[in-house]
Chains A and B, each alone.
Chain A
Amino acid sequence: MTGPMQRGLRARAVRKTYRSLTRRHEVLRGVDLDLAPGEVVGLIGPNGAGKTTLMSCLLGLLHIDGGAITVDGLKNDRIEVRRLCGFLPERMNFDRGVTGRAFLRYMARLAGVGRGEVGGRAQAIMERLAIDDAADEPLRQYSRGMLQRIGLCQALIHRPEFVFLDEPTSGLDPNGVLLVRDLITEQKNGGAAVLLNSHQLSEVEKVCDRVVFLHGGVIARAETLRHVDRIVISIRLLDGSFDAAEVERIAGAAPGGNVVIATVETERDVADMVRRLAAAGAGVVEVRRHVTDLEGIFRGTA
């Protein structure tokens, strides 16, 4: 008898050590990570923290020395698991003589897309990533940003359930950055789980539901940026217009200075809280969704 299948990616106590004749470097020292369907998780940390190593281990490109990694209950080195995964490396490389379309068709076939579907899917995703004009140009004529786009196409063409993106906006122009942001949101809304490795904290903040901060080979901190069941808001009040005790009673949290961070369940609750604060005489200057200060966390933890 087998238990119920665990959906999502699950990494437990993952350890990885690089060994050479003269050196032994433990890069991952017991990493736990969960990635659920429909969730976007950002992987952040300083250079050398082990982010790339962790992603390589999750994808089965590197063998782990300890711990376990499963995807939908299956070991991550299984062929069935790779069928579920899409991967964009930071620097994609391939035979530069091949056209973008031919490259994409090859990657799609390797990913298991049926012969009859390949052409249509390749065209559709190239159009989505606004690279269809260059579809029949050889890759050697592609700019860094175009290579990044075609790389994204190959990562997504087989409609993976788990998407691993390493610096997906690197080399992209502002339009490309917005496009990637939309694509990540589309993947999430479609039920895919996305792991995003990026140094661009502002991008991570915009698209991720959670971030894990990798430092010294362990998850030093994990933060939820977007809750599915509640809304965290930041309310700025007019100086001298409010009674702190009264604000605490209404908002359920004491103000820090003239700002109170409150947690509610629905948008209707937000409107209700603002109305009650105003009725208590507090001047509400600004209400915004509260976003965790990733830069602050980065500075504080790194």
Chain B
Amino acid sequence: MNATVIAETIRRHLTNVFFITYLIFLLMVAAAVSMFQSAGTLWPALVSLLAVVAGAGLIGPEFSSGTLQLIVSKPVRRATYLLSRFAGVIVVVTLAAAAAFLTESGLRFVRDAPLPWNELNAKLVNTIAGAMLIAALLALLGSLTRAWFNVAIYFALQIALSISMAILGLLRARGTWNDPLLERAIAAVDQTLFPEAAGGMDPEWLLRVGATAAVALVLACLAFQRREVPYGAD
């Protein structure tokens, strides 16, 4: 890890008008949902969306803008750079998630409303773990493509898996085609890459998400290491 790159990644987000605006919106939502009966609603989804935006900017846009050419000419290992950028994004997303968590729990405490600590803690941990997976997948896609194609592929893949499962389910229901193995395989891929958030604190779910993120990061580092970085912007 390179502390300079991590600090620069954090700085770039914290001085970004879009990020600040989004953070204020996130805190407003967290304040609003503190009045709901169930804890930790809505803001985890917004944090995940933030992870998509921040993760998408990890490598691809730098490649296209010409920034990456400057960076890779410096004596920093590419894998170190990518992992440090990833770490910076995770710090930023964690800060946002923690701020939302503190806003909701703080307002519940002030208003003397029910404060389900276990549920809120689980939401925070699961949200951060999910964000790590999202950012890792986008880092992998970004190390293979350029510009913002990574985020387009990410959503296209998610939609394609959902549609495939829906079509297979429909065909099975009509009795025209039945291939449980294929269905299970697609469901497994879908659950691995885009897992539904666990209801509570689930170590097995966390381990699975963490392992998938780790594999994605290793593949991203390998791809980035081999990648050519011709200079000049798109």
Which residue numbers of A lie inside 8 Å of B, CB to CB? Answer: 52-53, 56, 59-63, 79-80, 82-83, 85, 87, 89-95, 97-98, 102, 106-107, 109-112, 154, 166
Judge whether B67 is part of the interface by a CB distance below 8 angstroms.
yes
Instruction: Looking at the assembled complex, report how far the CB atom of A256 sits from the nearest CB atom of chain B, in whole angstroms.
Output: 44
Give which listed residue, A95, A97, A107, contacts B74 with CB less than 8 A.
A107
Given contacts A89-B231, A110-B4, contact A61 B69 (CB under 8 A): yes
9 other contacts beyond A61-B73, A91-B66, A93-B70, with CB at 8 A cut-off?
A53-B230, A59-B73, A79-B77, A83-B75, A87-B70, A89-B231, A92-B70, A102-B11, A110-B75
Judge whether B116 is part of the interface by a CB distance below 8 angstroms.
no
Residues in B with CB closer than 8 Å to A112 are 74-75
Judge whether B202 is part of the interface by a CB distance below 8 angstroms.
no
**In whole angstroms, what is the CA distance A80 to B74 when docked?**
10
Judge whether B163 is part of the interface by a CB distance below 8 angstroms.
no
Are the CB atoms of A110 and B5 closer together than 8 Å? yes
Give which listed residue, A79, A80, A83, A94, contacts B70 with CB less than 8 A.
A94
**Which has the most chain A C-beta neighbours within 10 Å: B12, B71, B232?**
B232
Given contacts A62-B228, A63-B228, A97-B16, contact A89 B69 (CB under 8 A): yes
**In whole angstroms, what is the CA distance A52 to B66 when docked?**
14
**In whole angstroms, what is the CA distance A53 to B65 when docked?**
18
Are the CB atoms of A107 and B232 closer together than 8 Å? no
Given contacts A89-B66, A93-B66, A97-B15, contact A106 B8 (CB under 8 A): yes
Judge whether B233 is part of the interface by a CB distance below 8 angstroms.
yes
Judge whether B229 is part of the interface by a CB distance below 8 angstroms.
yes
**In whole angstroms, what is the CA distance A163 to B67 when docked?**
18
Docked complex: B21-45 residues within 8 A CB-CB of A: none
**In whole angstroms, what is the CA distance A80 to B75 when docked?**
7
Given contacts A106-B4, A154-B70, contact A61 B75 (CB under 8 A): no
Give which listed residue, A52, A62, A90, A110, contacts B76 with CB less than 8 A.
A110
Which residue numbers of B lie inside 8 Å of A, CB to CB? Answer: 2, 4-5, 8, 11-12, 15-16, 65-67, 69-77, 226, 228-233
**Which has the most chain A C-beta neighbours within 10 Å: B11, B16, B72, B231?**
B231
Given contacts A91-B66, A93-B66, A94-B67, contact A109 B4 (CB under 8 A): yes
**In whole angstroms, what is the CA distance A112 to B80 when docked?**
14
Instruction: Looking at the assembled complex, report how far the CB atom of B1 sits from the nearest CB atom of chain A, in whole angstroms.
Output: 13
Query: Could you give 20 example pairs across A and B, Cβ below 8 Å?
Result: A53-B230, A61-B69, A61-B229, A61-B231, A62-B229, A82-B74, A83-B75, A89-B232, A91-B66, A91-B232, A93-B70, A93-B233, A94-B67, A98-B12, A107-B70, A109-B4, A110-B2, A110-B74, A111-B75, A112-B75
**In whole angstroms, what is the CA distance A217 to B15 when docked?**
45
Instruction: Looking at the assembled complex, report how far the CB atom of B84 sits from the nearest CB atom of chain A, in whole angstroms.
Output: 10
**In whole angstroms, what is the CA distance A166 to B69 when docked?**
13
A84 to B, closest residue via Cβ: B75
**In whole angstroms, what is the CA distance A91 to B66 when docked?**
8
A92 to B, closest residue via Cβ: B70
Give which listed residue, A62, A80, A93, contacts B67 with CB less than 8 A.
A93
**In whole angstroms, what is the CA distance A240 to B72 when docked?**
63
Residues in B with CB closer than 8 Å to A83 are 75
**In whole angstroms, what is the CA distance A290 to B228 when docked?**
42
